[in-house]
Amino acid sequence: MITNKNCIIRLSRYKNALYRLQALGFVKVFSDNLADAVGVTASQVRKDFSIFGISGNKKGGYQIDLLLEKLNSILGKDQLQKVIVIGAGHIGSALMRYRGFEKEGIKIIAGFDIDPAKINRSNVIPVLPLDEAKGFIKAQGIKIAILAVPDIAAQEVSEEISAAGIKGILNFAPLRLKDIEGCVINNVNLEIELENLIYFVNVAQKLK
């Protein structure tokens, strides 16, 4: 069982690069083309594929459509993924308005908020009261939630929604949620991303 996050991220990048190549009219691809497109070594590409039992053709490379099928299957893209957003504030509503997830087979189908002023049932993507979240998650079988509530609320809300059936949380609040049994938590911590960038910029400056 593969637990290497970077490896899975590479698979996503391969997939994206393959769609671009396909759009350019390519039908097959070699490991080094793909490597260039994604910014890794050709060995890495072949090794990643090997891990998942993906094989190409000696001297013929990989047939893009077949490769995409396999990658999409590994990445769980065979079926539309329904996602909800908790917290329809600045970041939550930016995400809800974003169309880019749909071409990836990811659909935000509702938002939830504790503030009555944010509720809007008639919107394409409705914003519902938080206390309806539990029922909604169960009724619709939602597995994935994007958490965009203030940091003080994040821990409590994450426990509530996972109790209701959420199995994966993408957390934007800048704190470490404590582990929840049966729920995967990935964090998007933009403060830390910026801090990290600043560090590497400073290091690069000092090198010169």
- Nearest residue (CB) to DNA, 3 versus 79: 3
Does residue number 97 form part of the binding site for its own copies (CB under 8 A)?
Answer: yes
**Least separation, in Å, of the C-beta of 164 and DNA?**
31
Q: What is the 3-state secondary structure (H, E, C) of the chain?
A: CCCCHHHHHHHHHHHHHHHHHHHCCCCEECHHHHHHHHCCCHHHHHHHHHHCCCCCECCCEEEHHHHHHHHHHHCCCCCCEEEEEECCCHHHHHHHHCCCCHHHCEEEEEEEECCHHHCECCCCCCEEEHHHHHHHHHHHCCCEEEECCCHHHHHHHHHHHHHCCCCEEEECCCCCCCCECCEEEEECCHHHHHHHHHHHHHHHHHHC
Q: Identify residues 106-165 at the interface with ligand NAD (CB under 6 A).
A: 112-115, 118, 130, 148-151, 153, 157
Does residue number 176 form part of the binding site for its own copies (CB under 8 A)?
Answer: yes
- Nearest residue (CB) to its own copies, 2 versus 131: 2
Does residue number 61 form part of the binding site for DNA (CB under 7 A)?
Answer: yes
From candidates 51, 94, 139, 163, binder to its own copies by CB under 8 A:
94
Which spans of this chain sit near its own copies (rule: CB under 8 A)?
A: 1-2, 5, 8-9, 12-13, 16, 37-39, 74-77, 81, 83, 90-91, 93-95, 97-98, 100-101, 104, 106, 143-144, 146, 167-170, 174-176, 179, 182, 184, 186, 188, 190-205, 207
Which spans of this chain sit near ligand NAD (rule: CB under 6 A)?
A: 86-92, 94-95, 98, 100, 112-115, 118, 130, 148-151, 153, 157, 172-174, 190
